[in-house]
Amino acid sequence: MNLPIRAVQQNIKDGTTTCQKIVTDYIARIEAHRHLNAYLEVFADEAMARAKQLDEKLARGEKTGQLFGCVIAIKDNICYIGHKVSAGSKILDGFTSIYNATVVERLLAEDAIIIGRTNCDEFAMGSSNENSAYGKVLNAQDNTRVPGGSSGGSAVVVQAGLCHASLGSDTGGSIRQPASFCGIVGLKPTYGRVSRYGLIAYASSFDQIGPFTHHVEDAALIMQVIAGRDRHDATSSSKPVNSYAENLQFNKKARIAIFHTTLQSDGLKPEVKQATENLLNQLRADGHTVEEVSFDLLEYLIPTYYVLTTAEASSNLARFDGVHYGYRSPGANEMETVYKKSRTEGFGKEVKNRIMLGTFVLSSGYYDAYYSRAQKVRRILTQQLRAVFKEYDFIIMPTAPSTAFQFGEKTSNPVEMYLADIYTVLANLVGIPAISLPLAKGGENLPIGIQILADNFEEEKLLAFSELLMQQHAVAQ
Ligand code: GLN
């Protein structure tokens, strides 16, 4: 089970399986795992029809795409024409996408099969998937625990073997943290590497789409399909996209930086600290250089992130007004109450908290104290990391301070929930790529993700090093 995509493609070509058989098997498994609540919708008939077309295409001897036969799930904030998309929110109830996200276009152009849309925290705001208007997602390994968030559904469908791979979005850790909690690979690309066209915006200067997979090779393959310039997204980069999956050999010794403060942080669970230190020791023993670099801004990361992202969210979410999209309050009959009631009834508690916080930090009188200041911190962080990457290939730190926690454990205290993102928001603040790899296990056999960060547009190097780490130090999940 859970073979790499290219091995599956080989099996199809050898005639030991077919796209139709693969989809049939996944649909049966999905049925058997309904209780996880990871899929909001399964496109069963459509996926079967597409599988049939793909089998016929192969039989005709036509050239097949890079993701031929690959069964992929997409987070419920990525638009797929003619399909519902809700961002886990009641306010988009009944809304159907009127165009395809660029990532969807690119997956389909390479013969992938999109099998369904996955549950997530409302508007991607959360770290546990408990903020979805459509119920929580269960961690497949231990159903009393959260899968992480906000892309919890996308993580669990891969964890539980309900598709080959999935797409999530990562604004402050929403791919890496659930990957860590579910024992799989999760990559947040460099800001601008993947088009955001058709991704429902949370915080536009932070959001990126990326893959969840079992194998680094699969993450590399999906990345080379979805990355690259898109004329619909002015922030997408025109830098050429490398053949990541063809270049997974890392043949040198890496220079690795670690930030002392990340391993001394109060909230860090001893087992996660231990796992990270063990890996660093192994890397030293393998001949890589691991050095401590000073970094004294750790405590500023969460406040800076929450000031800036809530500011952007308050603006992005203004469009959900009961008029343009989805839900309109049945009790509203004139303009002002349409706005008020639709938003009051349509948005969940956490989203409202953030809209209010964001509106506050942008309000006149407070703008300079919060928003401008946070922008300055963001700039300083970027400068500091530029300097680190002049001397080092990677920075290594835990992905999250703990393993998957219990439902309800952090819901009463938002600050406690926000601290779950302490190690992930840095990459989004600075725009750099970062990956979570399932390289350790903690108490009760729960997975521990280790995070590797690289410089802008160094996905190729990051993926190659990740492949090496997985080959040499992966633990059975
Ligand atoms: N947990 C973080 C938040 O709630 C990150 C979310 C994300 O990356 N979408 O904002």
414 falls in which pLDDT band (50, 70, 90)?
A: confident
Q: Report the CATH superfamily, name and number, of domain 5-246.
A: Amidase signature (AS) domain (3.90.1300.10)
**Pocket lining: 305 vs ligand 1, CB cutoff 6 Å:** no
**Torsional sign, CA 200, 206, 212, 215:** positive
Contact present, 180 and 96 (Cβ < 8 Å):
no
Cβ(128) – ligand 1 distance below 6 Å? no
pLDDT digits (tens, 9 = 90+) for 431-477: 999 999 999 999 999 999 999 999 999 999 999 999 999 999 988 77
Query: Atom of ligand 1 at shortest distance to CA of 171?
Result: 8
Q: So what's the pLDDT on residue 234?
A: 98
One-character DSSP codes across 167-220: EEEESSSTTHHHHHHHTSEEEEPPTTTB--TTBPPSSTTT-EEEEEESSHHHHH
pTM for the structure as a whole: 0.98
Q: Where are the beta strands (DSSP E) in 26-164?
A: 39-42, 71-75, 113-118
How confident is the model at residue 416, as a pLDDT?
A: 83
pLDDT value at 16 more than 90: yes
Q: CB–CB of 326/93 below 8 Å?
A: yes
Q: How far is ligand 1, taken at its centre, from the CA of residue 174, in Å?
A: 5
Q: What is the CA radius of gyration of the chain?
A: 21
CA of 418 to the centre of ligand 1 (A): 8
Q: Is the CB of 206 under 6 A from ligand 1?
A: no
